[in-house]
Structure 1
Amino acid sequence: MPDISTQTQAEIEASSPLPPTPLRRRRQVPVLRLLLAVLVLGVLGLVGHWWIVEGQWIESTDNAYIQGDIAVLSPRVEGNVQRILVGDNQRVTAGEALIVLDPADLTAKLAQARAQVGVAQAGVLMAQRQVTQARSMIAQTDAAIDQAQAELTRATADARRSASLAGAGWTSRQANEQAVASASKASAALAATQAQKASAQDALQVAQAQAVQAEATLSSAEASATLADNNLSYAVIRAPFDGIVGNRAAQLGQHVVPSQNLIAVAPLAGKLYVIANFKETQLRLVKPGLKVRLVADIDSGARVDGRVTSLAPATGALFSLLPPENATGNFTKVVQRVPVKIAIDPADAAHDPWLRAGLSVTAEVDTRGPDAERLGLLGTAAATLHLGDTK
């Protein structure tokens, strides 16, 4: 009998396809290599085309940070914290009350200042009355002078007539002497009245000076009252703009003094901006108006658009606390960086809650022009093919 296992194995070998020969393998390898080479050349072509059209015009730096004009609030008057009206990280509006100090002492000072205003007003009124009285005295002395002048004229005429009559023997010497004495008396009365007028004029000048002083005292009292009123309003610390409060250091009952930091207000996302420190070798084509793509370090997929608004007038090193002094013998050349301010697109800022002051970003400036559009690797190729088809 034939071997069943041998027959089965033979049948299996007969029915199975022939293994590839070394010649067939040699034919397949060049085809795979050719396909791979075409694929690599295609990728390189796409990358090279993107670099020529778009990539070489992109200036990028990861030395960029989101910033905002944070207001650190401190009291302008001394007092105790009576109320804290906001919580940590709460959104506030401009003018909203944040912290209230105890106003008792400030209210008392305002009442005292207003009382001083009343006293000063009374002083002004009194000085004005004294000026009016001094002018009345001058008018009275003018009338007295006119009267004395008339009396002197009459007495002088009587003395002359008496002298003529005494010389002719028609009157006695005693009557003549009385007439001369009356004339002398009238002259003295006129001089006294004139002196009273001079004194009244001096009194008027003094009264006018006192009136000016009283008005100055009133102005000072009113200024003190205004200052006291302002100080009372400073007992309420308000938000200077719309924003979010943070870094609260104030505690209830705490005694605070001016210049002591109590709370901070950070601007909303729409008011944030980016400061990107580009190398001096990257700034040849960077100018205001260019588009910028901002990629956040917290998430590479979190991207916002922006535009260059301005370039700093000097390098960051010159604005540092200890600017470099290159005139010394130990000179080492270092590539300088210039701060570039970038405004964030308000539409993106309104829909990206991750925007926070202090976060790091990567800034990519498209130097081709303010209207340039970034299309990416495949986008540039598609745009080029579309342009060719239109032609």
Structure 2
Amino acid sequence: MQNSQAAGDGPAAPEVVRKRRRLPLVLLMAACVAAIAGGAYWGLEGRFQESTDDAYVGGNVTVISPRVSGYVARILVEDNAFVHAGQPLLELDPADFQARLDAARAEADAARAALSRLAAQADLARADIDQAQAQAAVEQAAIDLAERDDRRYANLADTHSGTQQDAQRARTTLTQARARLRAAQAAVSARQHEAAVVAAQAGEARARVEQADASLRAASLNVGYTTLIAPIDGYVGNRSAHPGTFVAAGTQLMSLVPAQGLWVDANFKEDQIRDMRPGQPVRIAVDVDSGLRVTGRVQSVAPATGAIFSVIPAQNATGNFTKIVQRVPVRIVLDQALASVGPLRAGLSVTATVDIRDARP
């Protein structure tokens, strides 16, 4: 019976041996095929790809801050809500600013009234000058007549055709006329000085009007600044304002993440950027959605490594030195249809792969 069992196992044993001998050959062939496929991929595709997972979605996040200090009166938007450019976001209590606006308006009205009064005084001063000049002209005519009478009566007295009394009377009249002319000329000069003073005061009044108007405009602007307006279309985030809270000018109250114009900042190793050029296509895999594929193009390569722009740049002048591969930021613009806030969010991690085929033979 043992012989028959041995006889039954005999044909199967060589088959097992043959299969075991073929296994290394099969593995070797599979390895060769894999190597050939890998080499083909590398030669045709892989060597033209530069990839990094040190990449993040970016956007021009706008910080909303008040231009004036005051108490928060109302919050007009909810967290994470979408808002349009020009939409009111928040209101500060405008009472104090409205009172200052009313005071500035009153000061401007008073300054204009003072300017109007001085303008009327200037008109009156010009009229006084004209009157004084007319009186001086009258006195000059009187002098001309008195001089002729003085000469005539003096000649008559010399020829004994007239009396000395008449000659003396004519001389007295001439002297009086000359005195009146000097008085009239002095009055003209005085009126001219008064007009100059009024003109100077009017100049000061005009300056006060301009100053009051500037204060009025500033007060009006401050009233307008109590309402914070969305400068862009975007989503509200990081809201820290609450009704009744006092906020100083420049305090960050909330942020607006733009609804359009997202990009990717990818930090490539320094040995990866040699052949990168603006315009090269980029494939982007988003960590938040493994099935989402985003495309874009290289916009620019940073002029320096990220370490250069850090607050405390590295100093390698010490005795202990460890070489670290530096990374260079590369800005990638997304295709327009994919550059809006949807599955993408500013700050998300992505993997960027740049096709540098056009830069390598």
What residue in structure 1 maps to residue 350 of structure 2?
Answer: 361
> Partner of 1:226 in structure 2?
217
Residues 1:167 and 2:158 are matched in the alignment: yes
RMSD: 2.6
Aligned to 1:94: 85
Q: 1:333 to 1:141 in 2, by over 3 A?
A: farther
For 2:312, the equivalent position in structure 1 comes to: 322
In structure 2, what is the equivalent of residue 274 of structure 1?
A: 264
Change in 2 beyond 3 A, CA 1:176/1:227: same
CA separation of 1:50 and 1:120: change in aligned 2, threshold 3 A: same
Over the matched positions of the two proteins, sequence identity in percent amounts to 44
Structure 2 counterpart of 1:172, one-letter code: T
Equivalent position amino acid for 2:352 in 1: A
If the length of structure 2 is used for normalisation, what is the TM-score? 0.90
Matched, 1:74 2:60: no
Q: CA deviation at 1:76?
A: 1.4
CA contact (8 A) 2:263 2:339 kept: no
**Residue 116 in structure 1 maps to residue 107 in structure 2:** yes
Name the stretch that deviates more: 224-233 or 211-220: 211-220
Map residues 16-35 of structure 1 onto 2, 5 A cutoff.
20-35=11-26
Change (3 A) 1:84 1:20: farther
- TM-score computed with the length of structure 1 as normaliser: 0.84
Q: What secondary structure, in the 3-state scheme, does the structure 2 residue paired with 1:265 have?
A: strand
> What is the aligned partner in structure 1 of residue 299 from structure 2?
309
Question: C-alpha distance in 1, partners of 2:206/2:11?
Answer: 119
> Which residue is 2:132 aligned to?
141
The 5 Å alignment of 1:1-391 reads 20-268=11-259, 270-325=260-315, 333-350=323-340, 353-369=342-358
Number of positions where the alignment pairs a residue of Structure 1 with one of Structure 2: 359
More displaced 10-residue stretch of structure 1: 200-209 or 359-368: 200-209
Distance 1:43 1:81 in 2: 67
Name which of structure 1's ranges 154-163 and 58-67 shifts more when overlaid on structure 2: 58-67
Letter in 2 for 1:317: A
Q: Distance in 2 between matches of 1:89 and 1:166?
A: 115
Q: 1:304, 1:349 within 8 Å by CA — same for their partners in 2?
A: no
Q: Distance in 2 between matches of 1:332 and 1:189?
A: 105
* Equivalent position amino acid for 1:360 in 2: S
Q: CA separation in 2, counterparts of 1:78 and 1:310?
A: 40
Amino acid at match of 1:314: A
C-alpha deviation, 1:234, in angstroms? 0.9
Give the CA deviation at 1:22: 3.3
Q: CA deviation at 1:347?
A: 1.9
The answer to whether the Cα contact below 8 Å between 2:104 and 2:219 also exists between their aligned partners in 1 is yes
**Which SS does the other structure have where 1:87 is aligned?**
coil
Q: Displacement, 1:354?
A: 3.0
What do the CA deviations read for 1:219-263 (whole angstroms, capped 9, x no partner)?
A: 111111111111111111111111111111111111222122211
Structure 2 unaligned residues grouped into runs of 5+: none
Does structure 2 retain, via aligned residues, the 8 Å contact 1:80–1:253?
A: yes
Structure 1 residue ranges without an equivalent (≥5): 1-5, 371-391
